[in-house]
Amino acid sequence: MSWSHSGPPLKLRVDTNLHSHPRLGGRNVHGRTAETLQGDQCAIGRPSVLRMRGGEGIFDDIDKMGQSIMGNGLWKFVKLAIGWREKVQHTVEEDLEICRKITSRHVKKSNMVDRKLLYFISQGPTFFANPVTYLLRYMRGTEVQVAKAVSFLNENKDKLSTNEMKEHLSKAESKGGLGLTPARVSEALFRASIQVEEQQEEEDNKKHFVEEEDEELAAYQKKLEKSHKGTSSAGENKKIHKLATQKWTGTSGNVVKRLQKELIAIQSSGSFEVELVNDNIFEWYVTIEGAKGSFYEGEKFKLRFGFDEKYPTEPPEVTFVVQVPGWPLPEAPTTCASGDCPSQRKGGEWPARWGTRKHHCPIHPHIYTNGHICLSIIYDDWSPALGVEAVCHSMISMMSSAKEKEPPADNEMHLDAGQSGSAKKLKGWDFHDHEA
């Protein structure tokens, strides 16, 4: 007997209790479950057919007729040529397992979060409105990869930590991961609405350092120590941060090793004072001093370096620390400062025209009072050959060449426009640092 339904989807309740089915101990059951069953209350979708075991359908009659006319061997060849599909016979247990799997997929799909449209809009009108963007993504397989990543994140966000999920997404496919680039990992996290908390990320980063010395980094440190012997600072006891030579077990190992080598080099030479914010290898505070004979002689400032997994291919985020923890604020306005604030030399002035917004940034035509810096090498002119030390020297050079000690002419406009976010995301810098 064959029965088909062409009207609206019907509802079929399936009893998931195996003991309630007649097929126990080898007996046959008089009902079959359809492959379109979804959940405990499943719909029979159009144009599906529910085959009942009480009789034989027309396809069974054709099958027997073909076997009797052509013989079993030739009929099998004909069925293969025309794409004949045999009716799959399942046990009740197999039917129920299929139903459970489909139910599980249905539930996950209903809880799926994919802010794809919002992501495309956030990339700007050119990206969003350009049809070539979507065509290229599908041709390269990018969209399929990211969709898989979003599905993985939705399924595992309650089981795995954010860092573990990121590690799986970026791990090579040959090692069981998805092999996504850092940019595509960020896209997948955004589309799955998974926020990477900065504090949690710092804690995860710390967990990837093990109490074991990296032999390569230890050898590099000893080599630098030998090279610095005989210099003016040879007698000083250089203290290297404990994370500089520790072994890293997380992702982005090449980035971390590059940062560790730079940290060893700077602290071994004593060229600049470096501190890792909350022992986070991806965030540094570097203290610089104004050069002798410049407007900034006798003044100290702190630069913040924020690194990510794209370093050194892309530049770090470099800003001045607006208010350094533990430092007293400068006196403003004043004609003769006491010198208690490290960023304001003794006897220095702070005219009323500089404003009353107190901060620890240098007063310079290319340095805004929110810490943003208009310096080409940390944006468009960045090169992977550069590093933290090179940026610090360039900053001191730019400050030394200043012809006047004044804030940027558009400082207030820059602040009022709400440009207080990431300096790297700002567009339209008009660089004149060579004219400072």
Q: What is the reported pLDDT for 393?
A: 95
Cβ-count burial 54-87 (b if 16+ within 10 Å, e if not): eeebeeeeebeebeeeeeeeebeeebeeeeeeee
Point out the catalytic residue in the list 99, 341, 361, 374: 374
Domain boundary among 188, 205, 222: 222
Q: Which residues are registered as beta bridge partners of 43?
A: 11
Domain boundary among 187, 207, 222: 222
Expressed as residue numbers, the domain containing 414 is 247-325+357-423
pLDDT tens digits along 1-35:
444 444 444 444 444 444 444 443 443 433 444 44
> Mapping DSSP to helix (H, G, I), strand (E, B) and coil, where does residue 197 land?
coil
Cα–Cα distance, 50 to 35 (Å, whole number): 9
Residue 149 falls inside a structural domain? yes
What are the residues whose beta carbons fall under 8 Å from the beta carbon of 216, sequence distance 6 or more? 257
Do the beta carbons of residue 309 and residue 324 sit within 8 Å? Answer: no
Residue 166 falls inside a structural domain? yes
Dig out the tokens for 352 from the structure: 């009323």
pLDDT tens digits along 58-72:
777 888 888 888 888
Residue 277 falls inside a structural domain? yes
Do the beta carbons of residue 114 and residue 150 sit within 8 Å? Answer: yes
Which residues, given as ranges, of the chain have pLDDT below 70? 1-57, 85-92, 95, 98-111, 196-207, 229-238, 416-422, 425-436
Q: What is the reported pLDDT for 5?
A: 46
Do the beta carbons of residue 205 and residue 249 sit within 8 Å? Answer: no
Environment class of 246 (CB within 10 Å of its CB; exposed 0-12, middle 13-18, buried 19+): buried
Annotation says 374 is catalytic: yes
Cβ count near 427 (within 10 Å): 6
Environment class of 109 (CB within 10 Å of its CB; exposed 0-12, middle 13-18, buried 19+): exposed
Q: How many residues can be counted in the chain?
A: 436
Place of tokens 């009323």: 352
Q: What is the reported pLDDT for 394?
A: 94
What CATH number does the domain containing 269 carry?
3.10.110.10
228 φ, ψ (degrees, to nearest 5) = -90, -5
Do the beta carbons of residue 405 and residue 383 sit within 8 Å? Answer: no
pLDDT tens digits along 144-193:
899 999 988 888 877 777 878 888 888 888 888 888 887 888 888 888 88
Clarify whether residues 296 and 154 are in a common domain: no
Cα–Cα distance, 60 to 52 (Å, whole number): 12
Dig out the tokens for 149 from the structure: 């990543």
Residue 63 falls inside a structural domain? no
Domain boundary among 171, 205, 222: 222
Clarify whether residues 400 and 305 are in a common domain: yes
Clarify whether residues 416 and 293 are in a common domain: yes
Residue 98 falls inside a structural domain? no
Of residues 320, 312, 255, the one with CA closest to residue 286: 320
Clarify whether residues 193 and 315 are in a common domain: no
Residue 289 falls inside a structural domain? yes
